[in-house]
């Protein structure tokens, strides 16, 4: 490339390619009324002032129905109260983090419900894990219904269930 | 090949060799650190309980989980099956007598062990109570031949006991007895039956004692001792 014209064309082509490679935040399908978002994160607060964060790989909005792929919903569970002490529970309002992960779901923005036939894995705090196939989430009531093949596992410290005492008796 | 090209090639080869060489600092990070090993030891003090079922409803605000359809609870001490189960969780940090004693405890080693969970307690849920309904069957992990059946059961995590109520049947090595209420003390692996209905069929002329039926080894030992004292002259009492 010795002449200046081809160099300019090459630069322009490279710039165009770079622009095309950039992920577009939203695509508007005028004929279907669909809005597609890729790689998004939404944060918000519920009526109780609890913060939540929703991340997803892709979402398609069609009217009041929102289809989300590879979503993660993080939420901090309001503390039961009574024993709330500054410093012990952390600075955040609500001590126990809740996380829901699923490969696909549909959110009904009118009824505030999430539905899916896909699998769901859920963690409450650092020691409780739940999973199942097919689920319904009532956002307002904060109820998660797992429809089939459900599993619950919880790690407990031995002292908590007096298992040290149990150990001693079997020596 | 020109000198410049050769130099460029040499530079490229050197860079590639440097990139391919293992970096000691990264390898050192991969190796288990003493602190990590200590954490692993702490984890070994953990027990895991697993529950499987056909359906589950989680009430996040109430910290309650309802399981239905072939519910099976399993941990290191017992296996419990039922038609329906409610798990009640608690997120309040544990403040027991142990914790209050810890501050006054002169043994520093024990203090360190108990200090650590306080930070985690804010993040972790604690098991409060489990209620099981309809066709409850409890089996001991250590002795699966020993089982208890009942209409309902409540597991109190704080006291570490399971109370079965309604049409309770205790089975032990093929023998059964009925009762209104059965308490399984998980820590001591003991089963206590309240208001026992005892049906026993002994063959005619049997010299078998009632004490021996439910594995009361102490009485057996006593009998042996008394026999030894008597020089084995007298026959054992039926």
A3 domain-assigned:
no
Domain count, chain A: 1
Contacts (Cβ under 8 Å, ≥6 apart) of A121: A100, A101, A102, A129, A130, A131
Tell me, yes or no, if A45 comes closer than 8 A to chain B by beta carbon.
no
Q: Which domains does chain B have, with CATH numbers?
A: 50-194 (2.60.450.10), 202-238 (no CATH)
A86 domain-assigned:
yes
Q: Which residues in chain A touch residue B55, judged by CB atoms under 8 angstroms apart? A: 145-148, 150
Contacts (Cβ under 8 Å, ≥6 apart) of A49: A93
Closest CA to A113 of A151, A145, A149: A145
Closest CA to B82 of B95, B69, B93, B94: B69
A8 domain-assigned:
no
Assign residue A64 the CATH number of its domain: 2.60.450.10
Q: How far apart are CA A134 and CA A149, in angstroms?
A: 9
Decide if A43 contacts A53 (C-beta within 8 A).
Answer: yes
Q: Is the model's pLDDT at A132 over the cut of 50?
A: yes
The whole-number average pLDDT for the span A67-80 is 84
**How many CB atoms neighbour CB B25 within 10 A?**
6
Chain mean pLDDT for chain A = 74
State which residues form the domain around A112: 21-169
A12 domain-assigned:
no
Q: Is the model's pLDDT at A23 over the cut of 50?
A: no
What is the structure's pLDDT at B174?
Answer: 80
pLDDT band, residue B103 (cuts 50/70/90): very low
Interface contact A158-B47, CB threshold 8 A: yes
More confident residue, B151 or A1: B151
Q: How far apart are CA A126 and CA B104, in angstroms?
A: 29
Interface contact A170-B61, CB threshold 8 A: no
Query: Is the four-CA dihedral B87, B89, B95, B99 of positive or negative sign?
Result: positive
Residue B108 burial (10 A CB sphere; 0-12, 13-18, 19+): exposed
Decide if B133 contacts B113 (C-beta within 8 A).
Answer: no
The whole-number average pLDDT for the span A8-30 is 51
The token duo for A101 is 């992960």
Stretch among A89-98, A128-137, B59-68, B200-209 having the lowest mean pLDDT: A89-98
A140 domain-assigned:
yes
Closest CA to B148 of B189, B202, B188, B201: B189
B92 → closest Cβ in A77, A82, A130: A82
A6 domain-assigned:
no
The token duo for B45 is 């003090």
Interface A–B counts its CB contacts (< 8 A) at 152
Q: What is the DSSP string of A100-125?
A: EEEEEEEEETTTTEEEEEEEEEEEET
A39 domain-assigned:
yes
A4 domain-assigned:
no
Q: Which residue of A has its CA nearest to B62?
A: A80
């Amino acid at each position: 490339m010795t002449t200046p014209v081809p160099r300019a064309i090459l630069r322009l082509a490279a710039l165009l390619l770079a622009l095309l490679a950039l992920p577009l935040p939203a695509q508007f399908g005028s004929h279907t009324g669909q809005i597609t978002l890729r790689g998004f994160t939404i944060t918000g607060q519920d009526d109780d002032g609890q913060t939540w964060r929703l991340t997803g790989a892709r979402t398609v909005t069609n009217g009041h129905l929102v289809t989300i792929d590879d979503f993660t919903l993080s939420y901090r569970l309001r503390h039961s109260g009574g024993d709330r002490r500054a410093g012990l529970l952390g600075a955040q309002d609500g001590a126990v983090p809740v996380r829901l992960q699923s490969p696909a779901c549909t959110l009904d923005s009118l009824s505030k419900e999430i539905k899916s036939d896909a699998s769901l894995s859920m963690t409450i705090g650092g020691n409780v894990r739940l999973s199942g196939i097919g689920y319904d989430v009532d956002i307002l009531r904060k109820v998660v219904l797992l429809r089939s093949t459900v599993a619950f596992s919880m790690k407990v410290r031995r002292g908590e269930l007096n298992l040290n005492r149990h150990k001693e008796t079997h020596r | 090949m020109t000198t410049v090209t050769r130099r460029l090639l040499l530079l490229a080869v050197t860079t590639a060799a440097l990139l391919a060489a293992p970096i000691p600092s990264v390898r050192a990070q991969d190796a288990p650190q003493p602190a990590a090993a200590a954490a692993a030891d702490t984890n070994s003090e953990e027990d895991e309980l697993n529950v499987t079922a056909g359906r589950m409803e989680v009430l996040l605000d109430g910290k309650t989980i309802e399981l239905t359809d072939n519910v099976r609870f399993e941990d290191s001490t017992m296996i419990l099956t039922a038609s329906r189960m409610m798990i009640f969780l608690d997120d309040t940090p544990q403040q027991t007598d142990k914790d209050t004693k810890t501050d006054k405890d002169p043994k520093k080693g024990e203090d360190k062990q108990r200090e650590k969970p306080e930070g985690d307690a804010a993040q972790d849920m604690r098991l409060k109570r489990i209620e099981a309904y309809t066709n409850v069957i409890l089996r001991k992990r250590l002795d699966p031949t020993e089982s208890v059946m009942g209409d309902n059961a409540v597991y109190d995590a704080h006291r570490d006991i399971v109370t079965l109520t309604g049409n309770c049947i205790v089975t032990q090595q093929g023998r059964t007895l009925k009762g209104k209420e059965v308490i399984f003390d998980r820590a001591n692996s003991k089963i206590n039956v309240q208001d026992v209905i005892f049906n026993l069929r002994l063959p005619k002329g049997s010299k078998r004692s009632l004490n021996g039926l439910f594995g009361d080894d102490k009485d057996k030992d006593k009998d042996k001792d008394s026999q030894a004292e008597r020089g084995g002259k007298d026959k054992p009492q039926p």
